[in-house]
Amino acid sequence: MTDRLLFEISRPGRVGVSLTEPDNTVPLPELLPGVALREELRLPEVAQLDVVRHFVRLSQKNFSIDTNFYPLGSCTMKYNPKIHEDVVRLDGFAHLHPAQDEDDVQGALRLMAELEGYLAEIAGMKAVSLQPAAGAHGELTGVLIMRAFHRERGDAARRRILVPDSAHGTNPATAAICGYEVTPVRSDERGGVDLGDLASKLGSDVAGLMVTIPSTLGLFDEGIATVADMVHRSGGLVYCDGANLNAVVGRARFGDLGGDIMHFNLHKTFTTPHGGGGPGAGPVAVRADLERYLPVPRIVPHLDREGAYTCETARPLSVGRVRSFFGNFGMLVRAYTYIRMLGSSGLADVSGCAVLNANYLRVRLSDVYDVPYDRICMHEFVMSARRQKAANGVRALDIAKRLIDFGYHPPTIYFPLVVEEALMIEPTETENRETLDAFVETMRRIATEAGETPEVLQEAPHGTPVRRLDEVTAARRPNVRYQAAATT
């Protein structure tokens, strides 16, 4: 039977649950006010077993980190420890209501205050706000803080933000949404910020630089301290995109490298489950003199009660509220648990093993695929399929699709834009040697196939319910509405 037939399982008259007619000792409430009932809705008519099989089957089609290796570069798809789920389901967390009285939620406030403290320590910065709900949202908050800083000083002429050409698309998008003009800065031949190009683009109209550490090429920019210094000397601020923190967590702190503002992606580095669009958490950290611009409310120690916390909103210079309440609280509980489980030495092991795993893959694949920046990488590296494309017309997309046939989630492709036919691979620290070796063997086999049977790659995937989708239409105009097929 084809998948499509399996999907259309409705048959007139089938029901999942049948209830006996109530006798008149039980008053029947009206189920829904009449106006909300839509008789014209054609809902599926199915038995209970049909429903169970339908949803279990769908769940098995879902690719997840709990089932397979997921080396999606820049996304840090690491294992999500299950203890987080136990902790977040504790009644005292799971049943909180955000509108509860401050006195009732002291535990939650304390958890958030402590998490802010840990993240500030990890950042090497003074203060943190947990409100932003994703990395891009953290960027927005950070750039609003940058703007507030310049405005308060009466420095309104700064209307440009510099962004390296290797940046994630959210960086220029954020700068533009905050009303800035975006000026790209070239990468040098080692993948770092080109200092000459940076110098030529700095000026009294530059509000700051948004820079990802390590860069989206998976490389640590050895010149980062000089870069920060140059930006500061021209009066700008340095915004660090912390999405790649998994490479340096517990070892290097952005504040010590010259960063003024940064965001974390708790759903990447701190293992809160992600994919499918959320929920996420993108806390922002700032240096001491920028604390006054952080979003409100701020969680502060209660003045009269030892050990208690209160929420402060009277902060005239704050950029304001960026999210209802405190963002996705469950993500904060999970990240807190992760940090407490590992401690500072455990966090340093995370980055150490993440970097080791990425370099292991890089070295074992660099004879069959081009690695344009072939030097020690951080937590990820970028390969290019340009050799396969030139020889056999096999593109990065074809390699990615072929990986699906072997049970792997494809790496990130065609990003960063500065690498032709890019394949960006991030294994994370949670994968073992056997998994990495099996992935290497598969990637080498695909390289051989590219030479011998390129059409197998160009037509992949072969084993999935649907083959190649129009991904833009699938993302922009998803058809998520159930429409019963006309049954005869």
Ligand X SMILES: *Cc1c(COP(=O)(O)O)cnc(C)c1O
Rounded to an integer, what distance in angstroms lies between the CA atom of residue 71 and that of residue 426? 5
Residues 6+ apart with CB under 8 A from 10: 44, 45, 46, 484, 485, 487
Rounded to an integer, what distance in angstroms lies between the CA atom of residue 260 and that of residue 287? 5
- Least distance to ligand X, CB of residue 224, Å: 15
By CB under 6 A, what part of segment 230-289 binds ligand X?
Answer: 241, 243-244, 265, 280, 282
User: Which CB sits closer to ligand X, 212 or 388?
Assistant: 212
User: Which CB sits closer to ligand X, 242 or 250?
Assistant: 242
User: Which CB sits closer to ligand X, 425 or 446?
Assistant: 425
User: Which CB sits closer to ligand X, 309 or 415?
Assistant: 415
Parallel, antiparallel or unpaired: strands 261-264 and 237-242: parallel
DSSP states along 108-163: HHHHHHHHHHHHHHHHTSSEEE----SHHHHHHHHHHHHHHHHHHTT-TT--EEEE
- Least distance to ligand X, CB of residue 348, Å: 21
Query: If you search the block for the tokens 């535990």, which residue do you land on?
Result: 107
| Residues forming a β-bridge with 195 | none
User: Which CB sits closer to ligand X, 84 or 168?
Assistant: 168
Task: Draw the binding track, 77-116, toward ligand X (x: CB under 6 A; -: no contact).
Answer: ----------------------------------------
User: Which CB sits closer to ligand X, 84 or 263?
Assistant: 263
By CB under 6 A, what part of segment 359-388 binds ligand X?
Answer: none
Rounded to an integer, what distance in angstroms lies between the CA atom of residue 58 and that of residue 173? 35
User: Which CB sits closer to ligand X, 158 or 379?
Assistant: 379
User: Which CB sits closer to ligand X, 292 or 379?
Assistant: 379
Rounded to an integer, what distance in angstroms lies between the CA atom of residue 340 and that of residue 342? 6
- Least distance to ligand X, CB of residue 241, Å: 5
By CB under 6 A, what part of segment 178-237 binds ligand X?
Answer: 212, 216
By CB under 6 A, what part of segment 124-153 binds ligand X?
Answer: 134-136
User: Which CB sits closer to ligand X, 266 or 396?
Assistant: 266
Q: Is the dihedral of CA 172, 175, 178, 183 positive or negative?
A: negative
Give the number of other Cβ atoms within 10 Å of residue 310's Cβ.
17
User: Which CB sits closer to ligand X, 211 or 447?
Assistant: 211
Q: Whose CA is closest to 241, among 221, 407, 222?
A: 221
Tell me phi and psi for residue 185, to 5 degrees. -120, 135
User: Which CB sits closer to ligand X, 254 or 406?
Assistant: 254
Residues 6+ apart with CB under 8 A from 130: 112, 115, 116, 281, 283, 326, 327, 332
Size of the site for ligand X (CB under 6 A): 14
Amino acid letter, 193: V
Rounded to an integer, what distance in angstroms lies between the CA atom of residue 217 and that of residue 379? 10
Phi-psi region of 13 (alpha: psi -120 to 50; beta: other; left: phi over 0): left
Task: Draw the binding track, 153-182, toward ligand X (x: CB under 6 A; -: no contact).
Answer: ---------------x-x------------
Distances (CA, A) of 142 to 19, 237, 240, 358: 56, 11, 9, 30
Rounded to an integer, what distance in angstroms lies between the CA atom of residue 36 and that of residue 33? 6
Does 412 help bind ligand X (rule: CB under 6 A)? no
Q: Is 483 helix (H, G, I), strand (E, B) or coil?
A: coil
Query: If you search the block for the tokens 């649950």, which residue do you land on?
Result: 17
Question: Residue from 44, 65, 69, 74 that binds ligand X (CB under 6 A)?
Answer: 74
- Least distance to ligand X, CB of residue 381, Å: 14
By CB under 6 A, what part of segment 314-343 binds ligand X?
Answer: none
- Least distance to ligand X, CB of residue 142, Å: 11
- Least distance to ligand X, CB of residue 164, Å: 11
- Least distance to ligand X, CB of residue 277, Å: 9
- Least distance to ligand X, CB of residue 416, Å: 9
Residue 454 Cα to chain centre, angstroms: 33
- Least distance to ligand X, CB of residue 167, Å: 7
User: Which CB sits closer to ligand X, 135 or 283?
Assistant: 135
Q: Is 212 helix (H, G, I), strand (E, B) or coil?
A: strand
User: Which CB sits closer to ligand X, 241 or 449?
Assistant: 241
Rounded to an integer, what distance in angstroms lies between the CA atom of residue 314 and that of residue 148? 16
Nearest residue (beta carbon) to ligand X: 135
- Least distance to ligand X, CB of residue 74, Å: 4
- Least distance to ligand X, CB of residue 269, Å: 11
- Least distance to ligand X, CB of residue 176, Å: 15
- Least distance to ligand X, CB of residue 36, Å: 35
Binding site for ligand X (CB under 6 A): 74, 134-136, 168, 170, 212, 216, 241, 243-244, 265, 280, 282
